[in-house]
Chain A
């Protein structure tokens, strides 16, 4: 079974530039999560989708972050414009609706300079 795929693995951008991350969840997984993990900290939930609907985006900085999950499968997370404090690893995870376990991708390490 293929796992959660994320791209790119690494990205370096200058502040005020824009960036986008892509996630392809495990086939059939209705729930998709985006987490931000700052170095030395635990992952913080940014947004949670159920199919193509948003379940929770209370911690998403909506003035600069946006996310979509078209057709309830792939998802993209965008930052525009980026700030230095956005430097982090962005993790995507997915799970079945009635399952308890979330499966994670390898993440995208973003460095804003």
Chain B
């Protein structure tokens, strides 16, 4: 079974600064997907960014980018120009490739605080 580890329970960043959230995972599969989800107090899980394991290029979505290191099984999220609205719980998640059971497994989360 795959496992996802987020070693930073809490992080804080000054508004307009950059912050990096860490995630590592364990898998024996070669093809899979990785995600970062954001969960504000409203509880709605919102997809922030995704990465296909077969792609070497790191995914980017506006102010959000990832550093995907497949050999190290590391998948960190960088938030640039942090905004107050970025404050939330962030979850790293792993999903098996098509053809498998395609479970979506989550880490324990990192609570991000943005300081004005």
Q: Does A14 contact B (CB under 8 A)?
A: no
**Is B101 within 8 A of A107, CB to CB?**
no
Q: Does B106 contact A (CB under 8 A)?
A: yes
CB distance from B103 to the nearest CB of A (A): 6
Taking a contact as CB atoms closer than 8 A, the residue among A33, A40, A56, A109 that contacts B43 in the complex is A109
In the bound assembly, the distance between CA atoms of A90 and B56 in angstroms comes to: 35
**Is B106 within 8 A of A100, CB to CB?**
no
Residues of A in contact, count (CB < 8 Å): 25
In the bound assembly, the distance between CA atoms of A109 and B104 in angstroms comes to: 21
**Is B45 within 8 A of A104, CB to CB?**
yes
Q: Does A42 contact B (CB under 8 A)?
A: yes
**Is A48 within 8 A of B101, CB to CB?**
yes
CB distance from A43 to the nearest CB of B (A): 5
Q: Which residue of A lies closest to B6 (CB)?
A: A42
**Is B104 within 8 A of A56, CB to CB?**
no
Question: Given A56-B101, A100-B33 in contact, is the A42-B91 Cβ separation under 8 Å?
Answer: yes
Taking a contact as CB atoms closer than 8 A, the residue among A33, A42, A48, A106 that contacts B107 in the complex is A42
Q: Does B78 contact A (CB under 8 A)?
A: no
Interface residues of A (CB under 8 A from B): 31, 33, 35, 40-45, 48, 55-56, 89, 91, 93, 98, 100-107, 109
| 28 pairs from A and B in contact (CB 8 Å cutoff) | A31-B102, A40-B109, A41-B109, A42-B6, A42-B91, A42-B107, A43-B45, A45-B104, A48-B101, A48-B102, A56-B103, A91-B45, A93-B104, A98-B98, A100-B52, A100-B95, A101-B35, A101-B47, A101-B50, A102-B95, A104-B44, A104-B45, A104-B46, A105-B44, A106-B42, A106-B43, A107-B43, A109-B43
